[in-house]
A and B are shown apart, each in its own frame.
Chain A
Amino acid sequence: LAKTTQPISMDSYEGQEVNITCSHNNIATNDYITWYQQFPSQGPRFIIQGYKTKVTNEVASLFIPADRKSSTLSLPRVSLSDTAVYYCLVGDTTGGSYIPTFGRGTSLIVHP
């Protein structure tokens, strides 16, 4: 399994763009990158998934460089409600078994 490394915590202010980078140096050819968000007292929630280049949905954007050794989750114009822990997962979604493995995540605190 590809190991991921994220910053433990980040601080931001309302209205700013937040970029959280995940390092996955030993990502395999068939691995996809998936991000989850977790609020206190709730289970994680799927945000976005990508394989290469850029993916955008109504919540966030995911930027993946050509070498795929890192990825960046971008949250545009954050609000207080974006305060949460964000997890980056890497795994092969094309093979026989996909084992979703969470790291410690990045705790994002958005200040007024």
Chain B
Amino acid sequence: EAGVAQSPRYKIIEKRQSVAFWCNPISGHATLYWYQQILGQGPKLLIQFQNNGVVDDSQLPKDRFSAERLKGVDSTLKIQPAKLEDSAVYLCASSLDEEGWWTGELFFGEGSRLTVL
């Protein structure tokens, strides 16, 4: 079974530039998550989709970050304009979970490492 696919694996940009990350979840998984992980810290949830609706985006900096999950399958996370403090690994995860039936088991991709200079 194919895992969660993310691209690009690495990206280096200068501050104020824009960047986009792509995620393709495991086939059939209803819920998709984007996490930001700064070095030395645990993953921080940015946004959680169930199918193509948003479950939670309370920690997404909406002035510069945006995310979409068209057709309830793959997803894109965009940062515009980037700041130095956005340097982190952006992790995408998916799960079979749907409302009222949660396993709590997330499957993560390898992540996209962003460096903002």
Contact = CB atoms under 8 A, between A and B. Distances in A.
A94 B105 contact: no
Interface size of B as a range: 20 to 34
Interface in A20-74: 32, 34, 36, 41-46, 49
B77 interface: no
Contacts of A96: 99-100
The binding surface of chain B is classed by DSSP as loop
Contacts of B45: 99-102
B24 to A, nearest CB: 14
A91 B104 contact: yes
Contact of B106 (A41, A46, A94): A46
Given A44-B43, A94-B102, A99 B55 contact: yes
Given A42-B110, A43-B111, A44-B108, A98 B102 contact: yes
A90 B55 CA distance: 18
A43 B110 contact: yes
The binding surface of chain A is classed by DSSP as loop
A102 B44 contact: yes
B110 A100 contact: no
B104 A43 contact: no
Nearest to B55: A97
Contacts of B104: 32, 34, 49, 89, 91, 93, 98, 100
Interface string A97-110: 11111111100000
B109 interface: yes
- Residue of B43, B109, B111 contacting most chain A CB atoms (<10 Å): B43
Which 8 residue pairs of A and B lie closest in terms of their CB atoms, listed nearest first? A43-B108, A93-B102, A102-B42, A98-B102, A46-B105, A102-B43, A34-B104, A93-B104
Given A34-B104, A43-B4, 17 more contacts: A32-B104, A36-B106, A41-B110, A41-B111, A42-B111, A43-B109, A43-B110, A45-B108, A46-B107, A91-B102, A93-B103, A93-B104, A98-B97, A99-B45, A99-B48, A102-B44, A102-B45
Interface of A: 32, 34, 36, 41-46, 49, 85, 87, 89, 91-105
